[in-house]
Structure formats: C-alpha cells, structure tokens
Structure 1
C-alpha cells in the first residue's frame, strides 16, 4: 500500500481558493503498474463517488484497474488529507507554492501525473461591497454584494483551463484575473 499526495502549484492573479467545481469532479491521471512498471497508454479518470468492487474481496475502491501486461488487479481510493478528516479537495490559495489537492491510497499502482482537466472554480482575492438600492429596516441603507448573487454569497468564477491557463476580467473589482503556470507532482505521503 502506497499513500500518495497530489500536489499542485499555480500562479494566481487576482483570485484565490481554486478548487474543483463539483463534488463528483473527475480527477485525470497517468497511471503505472507498481508490479511490472508498465504505464497505461491512456489517461484514466475517477471521482470520489465512484465505488468499484475489488475482485475476491468485500471491499470497494474509487478506481480498479487490471494491468494488461502482468494481469494484476490494482486499486486506488481518495482518502482524507491530513490534518483534515475530509476527502474534499483542499482549496489552493497561495500563488506559486506547492499545496496538497487530494490524498490517495494506492495498492499495486502509482499515479505518475495529474492532469488539469475539467471545471474548476475560484473566488476573487477581494470581495467588493457597495451600497444597496432602497432603505432597510429603520431607514438605514443596506449593503449587498455587487455580484448579484444575493446577500452573503461570494462571487465565484468558473474556470476551464486552456493550454494550462485561464484568463478573465473581474468586472466588479475592475481588474484582470487569471491562473497560469499550472504544475502538478505526485508525492509519497
């Protein structure tokens, strides 16, 4: 059994808290059999909600793969990332620094590369509030978020990486925003 951490690094411009957009986000990897060292020819994917039965066992895993070369069955599951007890991905907040996205329990296989595919989301570095329209209780003026999503909700950007980067413009804060220089490493936990 090998425990791995998927580490990511990005350059953030005007945004923070980069995280996969959906709870059932598909994670894409290049995978290698630990037994015969054969690398699977295709990129594979799985998500935290996948539950695949393990042959000859009562257990389940998020990903089960039989190596075409040595015929050994191998498994991987998303596990809580210390110090949290949650299997949810950790939001990326520090530009240019390595941080753990998810942790994996791998048996008979190793992931060699994480691919930035799928929909992600992030928030602006700064949340701007402006005076709301009309008067509130007691005749005072209320404050509301300019994003139009309702009181107390934070503005979010939907992110889909093209050629390893994402660029947009934050109309509310009046600044360009972006994510680039995406890097990933798979490290032993």
Structure 2
C-alpha cells in the first residue's frame, strides 16, 4: 500500500520548509495483521537500506511486530520526490511511502528541517519542530520568522 504524508503549518515570513536529506523520520506504527499500535516511536531514514527476510528486496525499515511477530516494511518512494512546503495553512504532500504489513498512524516532525526566509532567501538549516513550533529572527530581512500550528495526515494512494 502506498501512503502519502501531508503536512500543514502556518509559515511566518518563510517558505520552502523541507526535511534534510539525512533526516530521521519518526512514526507511530500499527501492525496490519494484529492492528496493535507500538507504544514506541519508530524511526528510519531514506538513506539506509535493510534486507527483507526471504526476499532479495530491501527497504528503509524492516521490523517485526512485537505483538504478533510478523515482518513489516516501509520504503520511501523515490519516484515521488519530496516537495518543500511553501503554502501557509494548506495541506501539501511532503513524502510518499510504500508500506507492507504496517500503517503509519502518527508522525513526529522533530529536528532536521530547512526553511528559507521569504524576503531575504536566508536559509535556516537547523529547524527543530520538536516543540510544535519554531521561531527565529531574519537579520537580513529585519523581521521575525516562524513555523507554528503544524498538522499532518496520511492519505492512501491507489
């Protein structure tokens, strides 16, 4: 199954919110077999590949459900490039995943984001959304910049 992660946030004087290339993505995961949701945040990134048991394939995440022991995988869709978030307050597709044996049910944005000043094009490359918002001052533009009120949703893609 393919799942798209949609992201919405209020952008104040910034644009092009995007994850860094080596970002660790943190999710709550539900097993598709037993429907249990793991209490722990599970993280993976688009750079690492792991072998899938009994297959020649690889995935960014290969894990066994701690409840029913079934193997599940998640893979970043490389054909669906990550699109920087540029529209304030509107859902936009951020990333697409091919998931098997699991569903991504919650996303924690945490650290490793970049954003660009709307007026100055100043790049802020260490944006941390762990607390749900980020604020800074753009010296070149002489104005405050920030990100707040983020929301995410997952949509199944056919």
2:63 maps to which residue?
65
Question: Is 1:15 aligned with 2:14?
Answer: yes
Shift of 1:14: 0.3
In structure 2, distance between residues paired with 1:5 and 1:162: 21
Distance 2:114 2:63 in 1: 30
Per-residue CA distance 1:8-28 (angstroms, 9 max, x = gap): 0000000000011x3121111
Q: Which has the larger radius of gyration?
A: 1
Change (3 A) 1:126 1:75: same
**Residues 80 and 95 in structure 2, CA contact (< 8 A), matched pair in contact too:** no
Mapped partners of 1:155, 1:117: distance in 2: 21
Runs of 5+ in structure 1 lacking a partner? 128-153
CA deviations 1:48-73 (Å, max 9, x no partner) are 11111011111100001101111110
Instruction: State the structure with bigger RCO (CA 8 A, min sep 6), 1 or 2.
Output: 2
Aligned-pair RMSD on alpha carbons?
1.2
Structure 2 length-normalised TM: 0.94
Alignment equivalent of 2:84, drawn from 82, 86, 91: 91
Structure-1-length-normalised TM-score: 0.79
Check whether the contact 2:138–2:145 (CA below 8 A) recurs between aligned residues. yes
Please give the alpha-carbon distance, in whole angstroms, between the structure 1 residues aligned to 2:45 and 2:115. Answer: 20
Q: d(CA) in 1 for partners of 2:130 and 2:36?
A: 29
